[in-house]
Structure 1
Amino acid sequence: MVVVSVGERRTQAERTAAMRTRLLDATIECLVTYGYAGTTTPRIAEIAGVTRGAQVHHFRSKEDLVVAAVEYLAQQRIQKAMRQDAGIWKGPDPVAGVLEFLWNSHQGDMFVATIELWVAARTDDVLAKEVARVEPMVNSTLITAVAQLLPDHAARKNVRNVLYTAMDALRGILVVGFVDRDQAQARRRWDRACVYLAAMLSEALAAKASD
């Protein structure tokens, strides 16, 4: 007989948290692989390797799952931004470093899943409300990370406005890239946009800090 020591036993709260994480990870995988329309509760349960009963115990519906996934994804993106050392892009041209940091911060499965939820939120009021709640937190974390590259500047309104414009442009480029499925083309579009964004950011940095 296998004896499990007290120290190895997980509390009910820990087991619940582990199961929820398992289901949310499966939801993200499903969003990336099958898109929002193809993300179904049976598919999520299959990917998670749990029974439908276990799934329903934690999330009663697809809506419950995807709404929880919005915040879960936001937290994952925040942690990614905090783990990324923006300082590795430091160099003689901090503007180029900022734009490269933003590009790298918007790559990977987490961002693909996020886009799926953004698009779905267009016609889903509950989802839209949750997206609107968490996205400012993600954006704020990205701006904080950029501050490593632009010390004493990132808090200025005119600089922040350019950074938000850069993120808006980048996200639009990446969404279009999902249509033509050409990552290299998306990068070329971003490089083209960066010519203008770099000029805007340089001008903002050179302006007097009157705001």
Structure 2
Amino acid sequence: MGAVTAVDRHPKQDRSRATRQRLLEAAVACLAEHGWAGSTVTVVAERAGVSRGAAQHHFRTREDLFTAAVEYVAEQRSAALRALFPDGAAARPAVVAALVDLYTGPLFRAALHLWVAAGDEEQLRPRVTELEARIGRETHRAAVDLLGADESRPGVRETVQGLLDMARGLGLANLLTDDTPRRDRVVAQWTVLLDEALG
């Protein structure tokens, strides 16, 4: 049997990466649609079009799969936010709207199901707590950069954090009904408040 060359390995690595990505995307979709109780490794593997064994090759446990899935899409979301404003600080109304948009849609719904599960699942809680703390810090940093906020000034850090907390609340409201008209009015008002607070 001949030696495995680098050329032989690359297609295998590419297939492995593609399988992992399909599993992560399927896990987020399942979590958003079915919640924690209805999202098993088997269900995710079927949705991704791979065997359960292939899923477990990439993710040893269910907790590994779902925390990795939320982390993966959070990174995608953060990259997409920065791609909207590649030159950094931008017009505040656009930045506020983009930050609020982070908390609507399937990713937020999936993350919410993961938070609820972590409240009941002892082995999941520390992983989700750590993940959310890291995502929270990264989102806060991105918001500060994009808003051109000077956190050395009194109250600025709390104002930016208040914006993110408000955005999360609007995301929760949006889970049950389409809250777009009210959300647009709140976003417009927060933009005015930010202009006053940030200068």
What TM-score, normalized by structure 1, do the two folds share?
0.73
Aligned partner of 1:188 among 159, 163, 181: 181
Q: Map of 1:94-133 to 2, 5 A cutoff?
A: 94=92, 96-133=93-130
Residue number in structure 1 paired with 2:39? 39
With a CA cutoff of 8 Å and minimum separation of 6, indicate the structure with the bigger relative contact order.
Answer: 2
Deviations 1:5-28 (A, max 9, x none): 963642765554433222112111
Aligned equivalent of 1:173: 170
In the other structure, the counterpart of 1:82 is 82
Q: Distance in 1 between matches of 2:184 and 2:163?
A: 12
Cα distance change on mapping 1:28 and 1:148 into 2, 3 Å:
same
5 Å-filtered alignment, 1:19-58, equals: 19-58=19-58
For 1:59, the equivalent position in structure 2 comes to: 59
Q: Describe the SS at the equivalent of 1:36.
A: coil
Q: Percent identity?
A: 34
Q: Deviations over 1:37-63 (max 9, x none)?
A: 221222111111111222223334322
CA contact 2:30–2:44 (8 Å) conserved in 1: yes
2:140 counterpart (119, 140, 143): 143
Q: Contact 2:100 / 2:168 at 8 angstroms: preserved in 1?
A: no
- Contact conserved, 1:86 with 1:101, CA < 8 A, in 2? no
Check whether the contact 1:86–1:146 (CA below 8 A) recurs between aligned residues: no
Q: Deviations over 1:45-83 (max 9, x none)?
A: 111111122222333432232232233233223222222
CA distance in 2: counterparts of 1:61 and 1:158, whole angstroms: 43
Q: Which residue is 1:161 aligned to?
A: 158
- List alignment gaps of at least 5 residues for structure 1: 207-211
How far residue 109 of structure 1 moved from its aligned partner, in angstroms, is 2.5
Residue 164 (structure 2) pairs with residue 204 (structure 1): no
Separation in 2 of the partners of 1:98 and 1:157?
22
Q: Distance in 2 between matches of 1:47 and 1:58?
A: 15
Q: Could you tell me how far 1:175 is from its partner in structure 2? A: 1.5
In structure 2, runs of 5+ residues without a counterpart are none
CA RMSD of superposed structures (Å): 3.1
Q: Are the aligned partners of 2:89 and 2:145 in contact in 1 as well (CA < 8 Å)?
A: no
Count, aligned residues: 195
The residue type paired with residue 205 of structure 1 is L
